[in-house]
Chains A and B, each alone.
Chain A
Amino acid sequence: MSMIRKVLEPIGDLWSLVVGLRITGRNFTRPQVTVHYPREQVPTDLTDSYRGPIALVPHPRDATKSKCTACMICVGACPSQCITVVKAPAPVITPEQEKTFQEAEARGEEVERPVAPREPVIWINDFSLCSLCGMCVEACPPRCLTFSHELNAVGTSRDAFLHNLLIPYPGSLKPTPEQVQKLQER
């Protein structure tokens, strides 16, 4: 009896094969779901919600400048310490200027001493460290940071991932040679 069952059971089990072939056959006639990547790309509505490398928002009045005020809150919020922001330096006051200011103050006039512009001169995001968490974007008080939708961040060296976020803003202030040197030393 058990021998007959042993012979018949595998024959009955062949039904699984028929079911599998039916499903495979049905899917064989369906359109392809994958995309041939280098020749085709996924539709952009899928990548619009992707949080890519961060970018700066342009200033509402001057599009050649970024909205960033160099308050450094994003630097403190970042979990991976991948943001480097350098403030614009305080203007150098020459002795002659200082003298005119003092004379004006002595006359009782209100003097507007030049202050450091509230702008960054260096804004570097080390994308090789960034984890795209969005802490900097949420922490930014003037809401000047945003996510780009750049998918293809590819490079052949580590330096390729040091994103300079001020490149799209030609109107932003330039760093002094000392500031650049200090950064390079780090």
Chain B
Amino acid sequence: MHYEQLGVTEGDFYNRNFEKGAREDTMILNLGPQHPATHGVLRVIVELDGEYVIRAEPVLGYLHRMHEKMGEVKTLSQFIPNTGRIDYGHALGWNWAFVGAVERLAGFEVPERAQYIRVITTEINRITSHLLWWGAFTLDLGAITPIMYAFDDREHLLDILQMPTGSRLTHSSFRIGGVCTDLSEKFIETVRDFIPKMRERLPMYRDLVTDNVILRKRLEGVGVMDADMCRRYGVTGPVARGSGLAYDVRQAEHFPIYEGLDWQVAVRTEGDSMARYLVRMDEMEQSLNIIEQALAALPAGPVLMKNAPKVLWKAPKGESYFAVEGARGKIGVHLVSNGGEFAYKVKLRSPCFSNLSAYAEAARGTILADAVAILGSLDLVIPEIDR
């Protein structure tokens, strides 16, 4: 029965229309939009029977900024700063997806050095993103100390990433046809020094958190998502790889630089929150491997193609789609151009949106505290969901 029929006139649309179940003894609770466990302005309406979640419905749209519409009123290169602000965690992944779509549409050949720089900076950005998630996730579970260690390393990485991109968080350093700045000698040296240091830190993370019995008891067997469920919802990234789907865009789309490097796609088959956790921890290690090899193989040459588009450049008519493996999953940009300086349509495929849609099913029947653990294990970035 609708609340309206029950005579409830207060509250917003969702309050009035979130249907009560068949039973009378349940309670409806709002998690968010301002709640410490929801990482931003996500709102989840849960129907509870005591401690148990009968239904959980995410409500989106509190951070909608019309990025897709803004793509239609800005020139293609003017849209690049927007892509850095869609996902604050993995800004360079979005940068790459967008400039990649434009390059594919125009048939541009990106210089090899620029491609290597993209790989190196995107992987560093992936580690910072996973560190942020790691700290925030353990915070969700009630452990306050780990985020201090995570942010210690993350701060160093952000300082490193500031050298080529110029900013610490909302990077916009990729350009159509290359990147904006070359890597300095100092950057290369600092990263070479940092990789062994980070490798020493990872066992400490394992001892402190991963092997901790409280964490294991909170995560093992909680929120099991099988491969079939992941396919149904279009779940990608570490969440899908935690369920045994060995799908990684870096490997599946045959990225030219990644093909030549020695790294593995981190996969776990359990499908529970712990598997998703472990996949991300393994990915940090793999990212370090990728960065180390890419730095060793870094070729000389220009970082921006010769005839890089100028201010009033018009893209050719047509459509293109480009996907990149972001920290949270498959980032896709579908670009439609009718031959003007503006795009006709920019469709942004956000991985978190699909990952969150699986949450309603995964959280059903769990304890409320486990529902929060599942939400954290999905690694959601709310600005990316709403775009």
Contacts and interface: CB of A to CB of B under 8 A. Distances in A.
Interface of A: 13, 15-16, 19-20, 23-24, 27, 33, 46, 49-51, 73, 76-80, 131-135, 138-139, 147
> Which of A24, A46, A80, A139 has most B Cβ within 10 Å?
A46
Contact of A33 (B152, B166, B172, B175): B152
Interface in B370-386: none
11 contacts: A19-B208, A19-B211, A24-B145, A46-B162, A49-B162, A51-B166, A80-B81, A131-B85, A133-B81, A139-B310, A139-B311
Contact of A131 (B77, B162, B172, B211): B172
B296 interface: no
B214 interface: yes
B258 to A, nearest CB: 27
Interface in B125-183: 145, 149, 152, 155, 159, 162-163, 166-168, 170, 172, 175, 180
Contact of A50 (B82, B84, B166): B166
A134 B180 contact: yes
Contacts of A131: 81, 85, 170, 172
B80 interface: yes
B79 interface: yes
Interface of B: 74, 77-82, 84-85, 145, 149, 152, 155, 159, 162-163, 166-168, 170, 172, 175, 180, 204, 207-208, 211-214, 310-312
A133 B162 contact: no
Classify the interface of chain B: helix, strand, loop or mixed. helix
A139 B204 CA distance: 47
Contact of A73 (B155, B170, B172, B311): B311
B311 A49 contact: no
Contacts of B77: 77, 135
A23 to B, nearest CB: 5
Contact of A49 (B166, B170, B214): B166
A27 B382 CA distance: 33
Given A50-B166, A51-B166, A132-B166, A76 B311 contact: yes
Nearest to A134: B180
A50 B170 CA distance: 12
B310 A79 contact: no
A80 B162 CA distance: 22
Contact of A76 (B80, B167, B312): B312
Classify the interface of chain A: helix, strand, loop or mixed. helix
A23 B143 CA distance: 14
Given A33-B152, A147-B166, A77 B311 contact: yes
Contacts of A76: 311-312
Contact of B80 (A23, A51, A133): A133
Contact of A23 (B159, B168, B207): B207
Contacts of A133: 80-81, 84, 172
A20 B310 contact: no
> Which of B84, B175, B311 has most A Cβ within 10 Å?
B311
A37 B155 CA distance: 15
Contacts of A46: 159, 162
A73 B82 CA distance: 20
Nearest to A79: B78
Given A79-B81, A131-B170, 18 more contacts: A15-B213, A16-B211, A16-B214, A19-B207, A19-B211, A33-B152, A46-B162, A49-B162, A51-B167, A77-B78, A78-B78, A79-B80, A133-B81, A133-B84, A134-B166, A138-B175, A139-B311, A147-B166
Q: Which 6 A-B pairs have the closest CB atoms?
A: A51-B166, A79-B78, A133-B81, A13-B213, A16-B213, A49-B163
A164 B13 CA distance: 47
Contacts of B84: 133
A130 to B, nearest CB: 10
A83 to B, nearest CB: 13
Contacts of A132: 166-167
Contacts of A33: 152, 155
B31 to A, nearest CB: 29
A85 B155 CA distance: 37
Contact of B162 (A20, A50, A134, A139): A50
Contacts of B180: 134, 138
